[in-house]
Amino acid sequence: MANVVTITKSAADELKTILKAEASPEHADYGLRIYVAGMGDHGIRYGLELDSAQNGSDIVLDLGGIKTLIDEKIAPSMQNIVIDFTDTSDGRGFVISDPYLCCGCR
């Protein structure tokens, strides 16, 4: 599946830092799980979490050197989303954007 998710360098770097901080034998297989967190006024809301449990229905991607898990049932809704990390005076955090959200294509 082409262009399911893109991760920026700043997001990949921050995730690598987090994964390194979590490094321990029990967390050796941790990766990033992207999931649908719910529906909002502006469409689908996505969530991110560290997860080591790979399910049989997961698609496993390598995004910027990060093992990434996405359930195959929701992968089509993630077509072309971009995960970024921002660090501004307003705060730090991951931002998930959907280029199709603004035109009502979803």
pLDDT tens sequence across 64-101: 888 999 999 988 888 889 999 999 999 999 999 887 66
Instruction: Please report which helix (H) or strand (E) contains residue 48, including its range.
Output: strand 43-51
Whole-angstrom Cα Rg for the chain: 14
**What's the distance, CA 11 to chain centroid?**
9
Q: Is the model's pLDDT at 103 over the cut of 60?
A: no
- Mean pLDDT (the chain) is 84
Instruction: Please report which helix (H) or strand (E) contains residue 32, including its range.
Output: strand 31-40
**Which domain range does residue 33 map to?**
5-103
| Cβ-contact 71, 55 below 8 angstroms | yes
Interval 40-62 mean pLDDT? 86
Report the number of distinct structural domains present in the chain. Answer: 1
Q: Is 31 exposed, middle or buried (0-12, 13-18, 19+ CB in 10 A)?
A: buried
Q: What are phi and psi of 31, to 5 degrees?
A: -145, -175
Q: Where residue 30 falls among pLDDT bands split at 50, 70, 90?
A: confident
The domain that holds 75 is classified in CATH as 2.60.300.12
